[in-house]
Structure 1
Amino acid sequence: MMMKQQSDLSHTQWVDATYKKVALRFIPFLMICYVVAYLDRINIGIAKLNMLSDLQFSEEIYGLGAGLFFIGYFLFEVPSNIIMHKIGPKVWIARIMVTWGIISALMIFVTQPWQFYVLRFFLGIAEAGFYPGVILFLTYWFPNRRRGKVTALFQAGIPVAGIIGSPLSGWLMATFDQVNGHHGWQWMFVLEAIPTIPLAIIALCLLNNNVQDAKWLSTAQRELILKEIQQDNHNKEHLPFLKILADKRVWKIICMTFPAMAGLYTLGFYLPTLIRDAGAEGSLMIGLLCAIPYTVAIVSMILVGRSSDLRVERRWHLAIVLLMGAIGLLLSVWFGKNLTMVVIALSIAAAGIISFSPIMWTIPTAFLGGITAAAAIGVINSLANLGGFVSPYLIGFITDTFHSPEYAIYIIAASLVCSALLALSFDPKKVNV
């Protein structure tokens, strides 16, 4: 009996070691890629501190331009994910990184609103498919019960981008301002786009299109992963694309996720502005203070992902983090001129909102598999990310109209409460897997 227990323990350790080896190979690299991707997406929030006055752009112009990223993203995300599923992640992820880097660097030439709109739209097209592509890629390597934690580690790229990127962006703007006659924000866009090229080359060398190609694993380890993924996919549904669009479960996930994305990009595009308006001064100081909410969020994301996997529970974890996001945003308005309290409030908001996605993605991948999962992930992410278009435009319009973003943040916080209630309405037998 004791020998059997020791044998079972040894096998479990070997299985855990196998998945740890896979995670150590892919997750740190993918997280770094996401740091660069997210930074190129949201560094417009730091640039805004000087760019609007330099170019004479209104808050509404900024909000529309920031949000147009998500229209391009919306239009090309599903095709991008289906292409990746067919040709493999290695080349496709490398292609995505190169194109988004080039377009982000072209922001140096923006002088007119229409140029700003066009580049933000095409940046969305270029980046479409990276995030959902990685979510799909993880389904090739990890069964659903292990996916919450690894997805959280990958998505730690969001808060890491804030921790590193906000101070870095502020420093670049302050240090390079007027170098060779260019503004600091222009240099920031170019310098932060450069890492995409070496990362694309590494992707071609490091990533595998499938488990069978992973020669760095033993035959037994490859067979283990293939067997567990096959078992994981055994009871999953495979639907034609039109049926995915008509699936009520998919639309329920979209409706739950839309407010979370609106909240996420409220932080991404307006965190520096909210901290400046609370009394912080100077691009570097604002960037350093912006890092605090993201530091809190990275701890929260990992702890929440681990807790959800250990307890095999999704609904309450989702509801709690969404309510945290709503409360944090409301407190940031109520303490609007108290810098310390605003940073604390925004830390609560970031901890909740940024912890949402890793848990959310365990739901659709629990009942869909194969190319159906690829298409569904693309549909959910593209439509839900339109929240990233709505929130900056809403905040920009309301700020120009009422000279304060307060009412827009109330609307976004209320939508997060509705999202939390929707999370609790899922059948626990279907999502807690």
Structure 2
Amino acid sequence: MSTSAERTLASSIHDAKLKSAISKAARHLMPMLVILYFVAFLDRTNVGFAQAALKADRGVSDAAFALGAGIFFIGYAIFEVPSNLLLKRFGARFWLARISITWGIVAACFAFTTNDVMFNVLRFLLGVTEAGLFPGVIMFLSEWFPNKVRVQMFAIFYLAQPFSQMIGAPMSGGLISFGDSLGFARGWQVMFFGEGILAILAGIAALFLLTNSPAKAKFLDDDEKLALSNAMAVEDQARNQDGPKGIWSAMANWKVWYFTVIYFALQIAVYGTTFYLPQEVAGLLGKKVGWEVGLVSAIPWLVGLFACYFLGRAAHTVARRRNWGTLLYIGTGLFIVGSAWAGVSSQPLLGIVFITLAVASFLAVGPITWAYPTSFLTGAAAAAGIGLINSLGNLGGFVAPLMRTAFNSAMPTTSGAWGVISLGVFAFLGALMMYLTRFFRTAKSDELLDEPVMHH
């Protein structure tokens, strides 16, 4: 056999082993990661179902609720980068499990809320204990999966959001209704305690089901470990040529701050919509928050599940990521504004449609947004840079409820339309900034996107 033919044969064997390794890694790692984020997203947003009950039973005011809904992100932001650096030190398996168990304990304590102060303290502690989960998983996936399939893996991870609301919304509403019928506890107490215990159990499971690196994976054979490790080494070398070196260099890098602003704009739309979704649906339907509202609230997340997965698969080149990203940010803004108009016009069905399309848009654009920083960050710089983008970007979750409340107070309407419209403006900023990435110099690892690598 000629040398050229031998090289071709070796390359095809290597590609086959790489495909096999990626497929096995996805099957073994993604379900646990989705479960962790499922419970995290559930525990950070279930306050929307308890707002009216907390006000009636414990006197938690609207202003305190708005502050508590957002103060989560202050604790989250402060401890995000340190948590990510500790994950780098102790390994993803142990650190992600630790995060889940400690936030589960705090989440369960919400069942014993007595007043405004306790509610806000617990929300802050929930942010502190959950800090590092999301950016830790983003970094973990960027060390396991090549750039060509990374957005697809991010999209699978993001499916936890629609799953948590599609399943979690009726579950939260159902637990409230069930708890109220028991007699010995309030429904909202049963909801908080039960969903906190879920996080503790998920953390214990993560200790047994996650693996820190391909080299330590018992589910890969030696050839698969070598193929995957080599592929990631090539990308690490490319990212090292492009990106900042070290922690402080990453935190001072202009591209890191650019994508922080984009992510901040996205989180304004996400949390400004998510926190108030049950109340908005209840208002459109003219119903109280409970099982029925929970069921209808699940519809946007069901549609978002498909949008997230299929658009994540479609965005596998630089141009497609940019184009889809820009269009989805524009869609997010337009549909949020449309939902405000539907509320003013007393069009409940149209309001549900617009909310559904807004949720689908902002869910699908999240994985695409994360493809950019992971294309030029690696090592300690990735731990710091990804942590910074997520921590400061997530402050949008702090700003959104306060901004929405402020606009509604300044320009009061029955439907609260101006507060909703203010969320959409930031999505348009995200669209503009995503479009302007066309003028960026292409990252070295992004050049690998156009090479014929596996797609499954």
User: Which of the residues 409, 424, 432 maps onto 1:421?
Assistant: 432
2:264 is equivalent to residue 258 of structure 1:
yes
Equivalent pair of 1:258/1:387 in contact (CA under 8 Å): yes
Deviations 1:106-132 (A, max 9, x none): 111112111111000000000000111
Contact kept in structure 1, 2:32 and 2:210, CA below 8 Å: no
> Distance between the aligned counterparts of 1:373 and 1:358, measured in 2?
16
| Matching residue of 1:320 | 327
Provide the rounded CA distance (Å) in 1 between the counterparts of 2:236 and 2:12.
Answer: 26
Q: Is the 8 A contact 2:80 2:388 kept in 1?
A: yes
Question: What does residue 273 of structure 1 align with?
Answer: 279
User: TM-score, with normalisation over the residues of structure 1?
Assistant: 0.95
The 5 A counterparts of 1:30-179 are 30-177=33-180, 179=182
Alignment counterpart, residue 392 of structure 2, candidates 383, 388, 401: 383
Matches for 1:307-386 after TM superposition, within 5 Å? 307-309=314-316, 313-336=320-343, 337-386=346-395
Is 1:292 matched up with 2:304?
A: no
Give the letter for the 1:385 counterpart.
N
Between the aligned partners of 2:323 and 2:116, the Cα distance in structure 1 is: 43
In the aligned structure 2, how far is the partner of 1:19 from the partner of 1:312? Answer: 24
Superposed CA deviations along residues 207-258 of structure 1, whole A, max 9, x for unmatched, are 1122211122101111111101110010223423332222111111011111
When normalised by structure 2's length, the TM-score is 0.90
- Counterpart AA for 1:258: F
Q: SS at the partner of 2:182?
A: coil
Q: Which of 6, 10, 29 lines up with 2:32 in the alignment? A: 29
Alignment partners' CA distance in 1, 2:115 and 2:228:
52
Contact 1:60 1:400 in 2 (8 A): no
Q: SS of 2:285's equivalent?
A: coil
Residue in 1 that maps onto 2:452: none
Supply the distance in 2 between the matched residues of 1:37 and 1:375 (Cα, whole angstroms): 21
Aligned-partner residue type, residue 78 of structure 1: V
Q: Amino acid of the residue matched to residue 90 of structure 1?
A: R
Distance between the aligned counterparts of 1:261 and 1:34, measured in 2? 16
Counterpart AA for 1:414: V
SS of the residue corresponding to residue 305 of structure 2 reads helix
For 1:286 and 1:338, the matched residues in 2 are separated by 17
CA RMSD of aligned residues (A): 2.0
Instruction: Report the Cα offset of residue 179 of structure 1.
Output: 2.9
Given that 2:101 and 2:201 are in contact with CA atoms closer than 8 Å, whether structure 1 keeps it comes out as no
> Quick one: structure 1 residues 245 and 281, their matched pair in 2 at CA, closer, same or farther if it must change by over 3 Å?
same
In structure 2, the CA distance between the partners of 1:146 and 1:247, relative to structure 1 (3 Å rule), is same
* C-alpha separation in 1, matches of 2:231 and 2:13: 18
When the two structures are aligned, how many residues end up with a matched partner?
Answer: 432
| 1:256-279 deviation line (CA, Å, top 9, x unaligned) | 111110111122201111111112
Q: Distance in 1 between matches of 2:129 and 2:258?
A: 27
- CA offset at residue 377 of structure 1? 0.4
2:453 alignment partner in structure 1: none
Per the TM alignment, residue 52 of structure 1 is displaced from its structure 2 partner at its CA by: 2.4
Whether the aligned pair in 1 keeps the contact of 2:404 and 2:423 (CA below 8 Å) is: no
Which of the residues 442, 446, 454 maps onto 1:430? 442
The alpha-carbon deviation at position 313 of structure 1 amounts to 2.9
> For residue 307 of structure 1, what is the amino acid of its counterpart?
A
1:179-194 alignment to 2 at 5 Å? 179-194=182-197
**Secondary structure in 1 matching 2:269:** helix
3-state secondary structure, aligned to 1:200: helix
| Alpha-carbon distance in structure 1 between the residues aligned to 2:409 and 2:128 | 28
Q: What's the CA shift string for 1:131-173, capped at 9, x where partnerless? A: 1110111112111121000110011100110100001111111
Tell me, yes or no, if the aligned pair for 1:71 and 1:124 is still in contact at 8 Å: yes
What is the rounded CA distance, in whole Å, between the counterparts of 1:33 and 1:146 in structure 2?
Answer: 21
**How far apart are residue 10 of structure 1 and its match?**
6.3
Letter in 2 for 1:285: E
Alignment gaps of 5+ in structure 1: none
Q: CA deviation at 1:9?
A: 6.1
| 1:312-352 deviation per Cα after TM superposition (whole angstroms, max 9, x unaligned) | 63211211111111111111111113221111000110011
Residues 410/215 of structure 1: CA separation in 2 closer, same or farther (3 Å cut): same
Aligned mates of 1:137, 1:290 — CA distance in 2: 31
8 Å contact kept, 1:46–1:272: yes
Give, as a single letter, the amino acid of the residue that structure 2 aligns with 1:19.
I
Instruction: Give SS of 1:111's match.
Output: coil
- Asked if the contact 1:73/1:127 (under 8 Å) is kept, the reply is yes
Q: Read off the aligned partner of 2:430 and give its amino acid letter.
A: S
How far residue 399 of structure 1 moved from its aligned partner, in angstroms, is 3.7
Residues of 2 paired with 1:197 and 1:411: CA distance?
Answer: 37
| Map of 1:248 onto structure 2 | 254
Distance 1:186 1:129 in 2: 27
- Per the TM alignment, residue 89 of structure 1 is displaced from its structure 2 partner at its CA by 0.8
Unmatched 5+ residue regions in structure 2? Answer: 450-456
Q: Percent identity?
A: 33
CA distance 1:288–1:49, change in 2 (3 Å)? farther
